[in-house]
Amino acid sequence: MSTVGIIGGSGLYQIDGIQDLKEVEVKTPFGNPSDKFMTGTLEGVSVVFLPRHGRGHKISPTEINNRANIWAMKKLGVEAIISVSAVGSLKLEMKPMDFVIPDQFIDRTAPRRHSTFFTDGIVAHVALAEPISEEVADVLYRVCEKLKITVHKNGIYLNMEGPQFSTKAESELYRTWGCDIIGMTNLPEAKLAREAEISYATLAMVTDYDCWHHSHGAVTVEMIIECLMKNVDNAKKILKTAIPKVGKIKKFSAASALKNAIITDPKLIPDQKKKDLEIIIGKYIK
Active site amino acids: 208, 210
- The answer for residues whose C-beta is within 8 angstroms of residue 47's C-beta and 6 or more apart is 3, 4, 5, 6, 15, 18, 39, 40, 41, 243
Give, to the nearest 10 degrees, the angle between helix 221-247 and helix 134-146. 110
Terminal CA-to-CA distance of the chain, rounded, Å? 28
Backbone dihedral angles phi then psi of residue 201, each to the nearest 5 degrees = -145, 150
3-state secondary structure of 69: helix
Euclidean distance between CA atoms 254 and 8, whole angstroms: 21
Distances (CA, A) of 59 to 63, 67, 74, 201, 232: 6, 15, 22, 22, 20
Q: In terms of DSSP H, where are the helices of the chain?
A: 66-75, 134-146, 168-176, 186-195, 221-247, 271-276, 278-281
Partner residues linked to 153 by β-bridges: 101
Concatenate the DSSP letters of all residues of 120-139 into one string. Answer: SS--B----SS-S-HHHHHH
Q: How many residues does the chain have?
A: 286
- The answer for residues whose C-beta is within 8 angstroms of residue 158's C-beta and 6 or more apart is 90, 105, 106, 108, 174, 177, 179, 181, 182, 183
